[in-house]
Amino acid sequence: MQGYIIRIQTAHIESRLSQMPAVALLGPRQVGKSTLAKQIIKPFKNAIYLDLEKPSDLNKLRDPEAYFSLHADKFICLDEIQRTPELFPVLRSVIDERQRNGQFLILGSASPDLIKQSSESLAGRISYIELTPLNQQEIKINLQRTLWLRGGFPRSFLASNDNNSCKWRQDFIRTFLERDLPQLGFSLSAKTMERFWKICAHTHGQLLNQSKLGSSLGVSHHTIRNYIDLMEQTFVMRALPSYQTNLKKRIVKSPKIYVRDSGLLHTLLGLETQDDLFSHPSYGSSWEGFVIENILSIFPDWHASFYRTSSGSEIDLILERGTKRIAIECKASSSPEVGRGFWSALKDLEIDEAWIIAPVSESYPYGKGVTVAPIHEFNPKR
């Protein structure tokens, strides 16, 4: 396995720091934010790193104005900022007083919607960047199946064997539900949320049916929507919206739900080895989610959706940026084939660039404007 893995977001973070006073690096716990931040601050002379979960570091900010004034010329990294949201108004005054870019790197385990104080206090002064689990561009090509099985959390991916990786993910799920969510201010039953998460894992890649999920848990469909919003905002689930079009087609409007990290998905499903995965009914949907998350982590600036009509036309992933529209179909077979619904969807949406992403060894043309490719060779024309 690899040692320290260079993250593709490094250059983007450094660029934003040169253009903005503050950058917020957001993502789930244990995704590698602190490790990446420590690499980024190395070139800064006398940079300061504060872990706000450490009482000794937190104590330094008993009088934050005085502390920041004392270190007015320093670049400061604040880790686990969601534990001290009262700092944001102070940061605004400090940033405005210094009037320079690259003052603060802020790390948090919740989305901007949960860190409301940051968006309200630092509007126009902060840039948000999400750090996802490891993706296929950050690892060696021969380890892609390991990445798919174990997921992209560094400690899970780099574990000495599949069993240790699985145990790490089991501990992560337990800690996330029992400690992390309550620390973010959500007083929810850990057992209920675990049941909810496992049900979502079994419906991974399927259309969201809030009423059915609610019936399974004995809660309303509104409560299910709140649960999904919470899990999205903490970066562990994705509700992929349906493609919106003016075509005279009966478009499916419900989103599709995914457990974002494939390793967490497999643990929730009770899958530990490659053989477990190969023989499981969720094999195809697992590959679909793995492909989608990898692509969106590498191309975060594209708008993502899926396309499905009542007549059977369907595309797993539609990417849009400006006038560019790309169709992506995910097939877990080494000899992928697509049906009539795929070609109908390409015609419906007038797509001229389409991809079929499959576990194949090399790319090859499949039809007019359609390329079959391994995930690491997906490279849309800009």
pLDDT tens, 16-43?
999 999 999 999 999 999 999 999 999 8
Predicted confidence (pLDDT) per residue in 90-112, tens digit? 999 999 999 899 999 999 987 76
CATH topology of domain 136-377: Arc Repressor Mutant, subunit A (1.10.10)
Continuous segment of H or E residues that includes residue 255:
none
Q: Looking at the predicted structure, is the pLDDT value of residue 231 above 80?
A: yes
pLDDT score recorded for residue 248: 66
The pLDDT confidence band at residue 149, using thresholds 50, 70 and 90, is: very high
Q: Write the CA distances from 254 to 51, 307, 367, integer angstroms.
A: 40, 11, 30
Nearby residues of 27 by Cβ (< 8 Å), 6 or more positions away: 33, 109, 130, 131, 132, 235
> Residue 112's pLDDT is what?
66
Residue 85 confidence class, pLDDT cut points 50, 70, 90: confident
Q: Cα–Cα distances in Å, from 261 out to 196, 264, 290?
A: 16, 5, 7
**pLDDT tens-digit readout, 338-367:** 999 999 999 989 898 999 999 999 999 998
Is residue 1 predicted with pLDDT exceeding 60?
no
CATH architecture observed for domain 10-130:
3-Layer(aba) Sandwich (3.40)
> What is the rounded CA–CA span in Å between residue 281 and residue 264?
17
For the chain, the domains span 10-130, 136-377
Q: Which two tokens stand for residue 119?
A: 């968006």
pLDDT for the residue numbered 2: 58
Q: In the chain, what percentage of residues exceed pLDDT 90?
A: 78
Predicted structure pTM score: 0.93
In this model, does residue 381 exceed pLDDT 90?
no
3-class SS shares of the chain: helix, strand, coil, % to 5:
45, 20, 40
Give the model's pLDDT for residue 247: 66
